[in-house]
Amino acid sequence: MQAFNKTQQYKVTQANENQRIDNFLITYMKSAPRKHIYKLIRTGQVRVNSKRIKPFYKLKVEDIIRIPPYIGKELLDVKVDSVQKNNFLKRIIYEDNNLLIFNKPTNLSVHSGSKLGFGLIDIARKVVLKNERIDLLHRLDKETSGCIVLTKNLRTLRKMQDQMKNRAIIKKYICLVFGKWKYKDGIMKTSIVRNKKKHSIETNFEKINEYKNFTLMGVTLITGKYHQIRQHCYKLGHPIVGDKKYKYGRSLPQAKINTINRIFLHSKEIVFKDVDSNKKIKVKSPIPEDLKNFIKEID
């Protein structure tokens, strides 16, 4: 278990230069929940060069990071048995020396802090042991399934983050929404509010199939904001089936809930450039059986 009985002092080297302090702490305090790490930053318990900092502060070589003592229930020593290890390895749908792509099942959190107590990243760090470090490039909601990228070293993490920043990574999803889609295919723009700040979002929508009370949509993210697809569909009057938060009061009959007790949102494809060769790589995740079965029911 990663626990700190006394205050830690960490001197930043080139390996962590330009890394955000929150991302550094998430890796350094491997088993600590994100919410606790952000609390440490927010309350000034974590300091850099004796000064309070924001989560987005970027580290400089020779910065001195003060990390307070921490032992608590939030820390968890994740024990991964052979079954969990094999299940994890079976769900790796792409891997090279720099990263891997995991086919995340529904109801698995990517971070610790859930009722389960641990997340995908905790399991990955126990299973993939031969690497410098394992980091999540992005996140998926707990109920959302499909492609998620984990990097194996800081260099790859930074290069992939640059690709995301420059919109060079293409992330495609499939979702089922309530109602018959009433818009043309193409990029749609709107704004959402997150932490009292307004954010512009862009999403490309493409109708795949239409049913009596539903529409199957292909969705490509242009921007990448919190709950973007879910919020955008909701604002367009077509909430995603199974979404418990953005739903306009729409819900499925009990018989259908028993068939699909999750959100119908799946990360089906990701396209990016290899960080060494610059070659384009496309990875696909098959649609889960529960989603395919639900489509058969409504067809």
Share of the chain above pLDDT 70, in %: 87
Statement: residue 299 has pLDDT above 50: yes
* Nearest CA-CA partner of 245 in 142, 147, 120: 142
Q: In 10 A of CB 244, how many CB atoms?
A: 9
pLDDT tens readout for residues 243-271: 989 887 666 665 565 568 899 999 999 99
Summarize the confidence of residues 86-101 as an average pLDDT. 93
More confident residue, 190 or 254: 190
Per-residue confidence (pLDDT) for residue 279, from 0 to 100: 97
| Distance separating alpha carbons of residues 192 and 232, to the nearest angstrom | 8
Statement: residue 30 has pLDDT above 70: no
More confident residue, 268 or 2: 268
Instruction: Look up residue 48 and give its two tokens.
Output: 């850099």
| Distance separating alpha carbons of residues 244 and 133, to the nearest angstrom | 35
Per-residue confidence (pLDDT) for residue 210, from 0 to 100: 95
| DSSP, res 111 | S
* Burial of 67 per CB tally in 10 Å (0-12, 13-18, 19+): buried
Per-residue confidence (pLDDT) for residue 294, from 0 to 100: 93
Alpha helices in 91-202 (DSSP H): 120-127, 154-165
Mean pLDDT of the chain: 87
Q: Does domain 8-67 have CATH number 1.10.600.10?
A: no
More confident residue, 191 or 70: 191
pLDDT tens readout for residues 110-152: 876 545 556 888 788 878 766 667 889 998 999 999 999 999 9
Q: In 10 A of CB 106, how many CB atoms?
A: 21
- The sign one gets for the Cα dihedral 112, 114, 117, 118 is negative
Residues 135, 148 contacting (CB under 8 angstroms): no
Catalytic residue among 22, 141, 243, 274: 141
Instruction: Look up residue 90 and give its two tokens.
Output: 């079976």
Do 82-165 and 170-273+282-298 fold alike per CATH? yes
The domain locations on the chain are: 8-67, 82-165, 170-273+282-298
Per-residue confidence (pLDDT) for residue 87, from 0 to 100: 87
Q: Which of 18-22, 72-76, 129-133 has the highest mean predicted lDDT (pLDDT)?
A: 18-22
Into which CATH architecture does domain 82-165 fall?
A: 2-Layer Sandwich (3.30)
Task: Decide the pairing of beta strands 145-151 and 265-273.
Answer: parallel
pLDDT tens readout for residues 163-176: 998 999 999 999 99
| Distance separating alpha carbons of residues 200 and 197, to the nearest angstrom | 10
Q: What is the pTM of this model?
A: 0.76
* Burial of 10 per CB tally in 10 Å (0-12, 13-18, 19+): middle
Per-residue confidence (pLDDT) for residue 28, from 0 to 100: 80
Non-local CB neighbours of 297 within 8 Å, separated by 6+ positions = 256, 259
Question: CATH top-level class for 170-273+282-298?
Answer: alpha beta
Give me the residues paired with residue 201 across strands.
Answer: 190
Tell me, yes or no, if 141 is annotated catalytic. Answer: yes
